[in-house]
C-alpha cells in the first residue's frame, strides 16, 4: 500500500538546514500518517549532506545530481518518483510545526476539490511571512512597474484564521494531490526556478481544482537560502525573472498580452535603472550593490524591444544549459 504522503526535498548542500528540516518532518510534524521521504541533492558534487543524511536518517531515500538543475527540473524528477496520495514539496530551509503533515492530510481529505494547498508561514523570529499572492496579469504587472511586489496584496495576511482560496503559493511548502500531478503534470522547466509557482497554480485552477491557503498548519521558513537569494539578486537573476514573466504572459494569455507587456516592463525597468544610477552617484559605499542592478535593468529595457523577449539571450541560455538528471544513490 502506498504511503499517505511522499515528502520531497531538493537540497542545495547546506547540511545544517537539511538536518533541521528532516528532524521536524520525521519527528513532531508527522503525526499519525505514513511517510516516505526522498531528498534530491541538487548541486555540484556530493559534499557532506549525503553522508549526514545516511548516518542520521537512514530511512530517507537519496538521489543525486552531478550539477545544479534548478527548482523546476529537480522537483519534477522527485515527483516522478513519488508514490503517496499526496506529495509535499518542501524547501530544505523549512521547519514544520507539530503535526503539520497530519493536519494537511486531514484538511485535504475534507476538501476534495482542493488540488494544492499551502500553510501559514512564519520567520525565525515568529513574524508572519507572506506566502500567497495575486495572479500575474497585465493589471498586476502595471501595478508592479510603479509599486514593486504589488502582486502580494491579495487580502491574505497574519489575521486570516480560516482557509482561503488563493491565486498562487510560494514554493517552499506545496501540498499537492497525486491525482493533480497526474492530470496537470509538473513545473514548466523553462522557468528554471522563478515564476514557476504562479504558472503551475494557474494550470491547476484551469484544470478545475482549487488552490488554497490553510492557516491551521504552521511552518518556519528561513527564506533566501534554497534557490535564488532574495536579498541581493544578481544581474543574471534579474534578467531571467523578466524573461520568465514575458514567457508566462505569452504562454498563459497569448502573444498580444506579451506584446502589451513590453511598455509596462520597460517603464518599470527604467524607473529602477534611474534609482540605482542615482544610488551609484550619491552613495559610493553602495556602488557594489548598484552596479549589477544598473547593468541588469539596462538589459531589461533592451529586452522590451527584442524580437522575442520571452526567450533567453544566448549568453544566459548557455549559463542554464548544463542540466543533468538525478541518479539514485548507492
- Residue range 61-87, pLDDT digits in tens: 999 887 778 899 999 999 999 999 999
The CA radius of gyration of the chain, in Å to the nearest whole number, is 20
DSSP helix/strand/coil, 40 = strand
DSSP helix/strand/coil, 115 = strand
Question: Model's pTM, two decimal places?
Answer: 0.93
In the predicted model, is pLDDT for residue 1 greater than 70?
A: no
pLDDT on residue 119:
98
Q: Tell me, yes or no, whether 258 and 284 share the same domain.
A: yes
- Residue range 155-173, pLDDT digits in tens: 999 999 999 999 999 999 9
pLDDT on residue 228:
37
Question: How far are the Cα atoms of 114, 248, 286 from residue 119, in angstroms, in the given order?
Answer: 13, 25, 37
Q: Tell me, yes or no, whether 218 and 312 share the same domain.
A: no
* H helix intervals, the chain: 15-25, 49-56, 70-81, 100-110, 138-146, 178-184, 196-206, 235-253, 255-282, 287-303, 314-319
Share of the chain above pLDDT 90, in %: 78
Nearest to 242 by CA among 186, 302, 202, 189: 302
Distance (Å, whole) CA 103 – CA 29 = 9
In a domain, 296, yes or no: yes
In a domain, 328, yes or no: no
In a domain, 148, yes or no: yes
pLDDT on residue 34:
96
Last residue of a domain, one of 196, 226, 256: 226
Which of 75-79, 146-150, 322-326 has the weakest average pLDDT? 322-326
70 vs 269, residue with greater confidence: 269
Query: Predicted confidence band at 225 (pLDDT cuts at 50, 70, 90)?
Result: very low
| Domain containing residue 283 | 235-319
How large is the angle between the packed helices 196-206 and 235-253, nearest 10 degrees? 20
Q: Tell me, yes or no, whether 148 and 270 share the same domain.
A: no
In the predicted model, is pLDDT for residue 45 greater than 70?
A: no
In a domain, 50, yes or no: yes
Q: Tell me, yes or no, whether 43 and 192 share the same domain.
A: yes
Last residue of a domain, one of 167, 195, 226: 226
- Counted residue by residue, the chain has a size of 330
| Residue 35 host element (H or E) | strand 35-42
Q: Tell me, yes or no, whether 204 and 239 share the same domain.
A: no
Q: Tell me, yes or no, whether 287 and 305 share the same domain.
A: yes
Which of 202-211, 248-257, 305-314 has the weakest average pLDDT? 305-314
Q: Tell me, yes or no, whether 201 and 273 share the same domain.
A: no
Q: Tell me, yes or no, whether 218 and 272 share the same domain.
A: no
Is residue 116 a contact partner of residue 204, using CB atoms and an 8 Å limit? yes
What's the sign of the alpha-carbon dihedral 281, 285, 286, 290? positive
In a domain, 325, yes or no: no
Query: Predicted confidence band at 320 (pLDDT cuts at 50, 70, 90)?
Result: confident
Is residue 304 a contact partner of residue 242, using CB atoms and an 8 Å limit? no
Q: Tell me, yes or no, whether 197 and 138 share the same domain.
A: yes
Q: Tell me, yes or no, whether 148 and 283 share the same domain.
A: no
Amino acid at each position: 500500500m502506498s504511503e499517505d504522503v511522499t515528502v520531497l526535498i531538493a537540497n542545495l548542500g547546506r547540511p545544517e538546514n537539511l538536518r533541521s528540516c528532516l528532524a521536524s518532518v520525521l519527528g513532531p510534524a508527522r503525526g499519525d500518517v505514513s511517510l516516505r521521504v526522498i531528498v534530491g541533492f541538487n548541486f555540484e558534487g556530493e559534499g557532506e549532506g549525503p553522508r549526514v543524511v545516511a548516518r542520521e536518517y537512514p530511512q530517507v531515500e537519496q538521489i543525486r545530481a552531478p550539477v545544479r538543475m534548478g527548482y523546476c527540473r529537480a522537483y519534477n524528477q522527485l515527483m516522478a518518483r513519488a508514490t503517496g496520495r499526496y506529495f509535499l514539496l518542501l524547501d530544505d530551509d523549512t521547519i514544520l510545526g507539530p503535526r503539520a503533515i497530519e493536519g494537511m492530510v486531514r484538511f485535504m481529505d475534507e476538501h476534495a476539490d482542493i488540488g494544492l494547498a499551502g500553510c501559514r508561514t512564519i520567520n525565525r523570529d515568529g513574524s508572519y511571512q507572506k506566502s500567497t499572492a495575486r495572479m500575474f496579469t497585465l493589471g498586476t504587472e502595471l501595478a508592479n512597474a510603479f509599486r514593486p511586489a504589488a502582486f502580494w496584496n491579495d487580502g491574505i495576511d497574519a489575521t486570516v484564521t480560516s482557509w482561503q482560496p488563493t491565486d498562487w503559493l510560494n514554493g517552499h511548502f506545496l501540498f499537492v494531490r497525486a491525482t493533480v500531478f497526474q492530470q496537470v503534470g509538473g513545473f514548466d522547466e523553462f522557468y528554471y526556478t522563478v515564476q514557476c509557482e504562479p504558472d503551475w497554480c494557474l494550470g491547476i485552477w484551469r484544470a478545475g481544482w482549487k488552490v488554497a491557503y490553510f492557516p491551521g498548519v504552521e511552518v518556519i521558513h528561513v527564506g533566501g537560502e534554497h534557490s535564488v537569494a532574495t536579498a541581493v539578486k544578481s544581474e543574471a537573476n534579474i534578467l531571467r525573472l523578466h524573461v520568465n514573466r514575458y514567457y508566462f504572459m505569452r504562454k498563459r494569455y497569448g502573444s498580444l498580452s506579451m506584446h502589451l507587456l513590453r511598455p509596462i516592463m520597460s517603464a518599470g525597468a527604467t524607473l529602477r535603472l534611474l534609482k540605482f544610477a542615482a544610488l551609484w552617484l550619491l552613495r559610493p559605499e553602495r556602488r557594489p550593490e548598484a552596479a549589477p542592478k544598473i547593468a541588469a535593468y539596462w538589459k531589461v529595457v533592451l529586452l522590451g524591444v527584442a524580437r522575442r523577449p520571452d526567450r533567453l539571450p544566448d549568453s544566459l541560455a548557455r549559463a542554464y544549459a548544463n542540466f543533468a538528471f538525478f541518479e539514485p544513490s548507492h
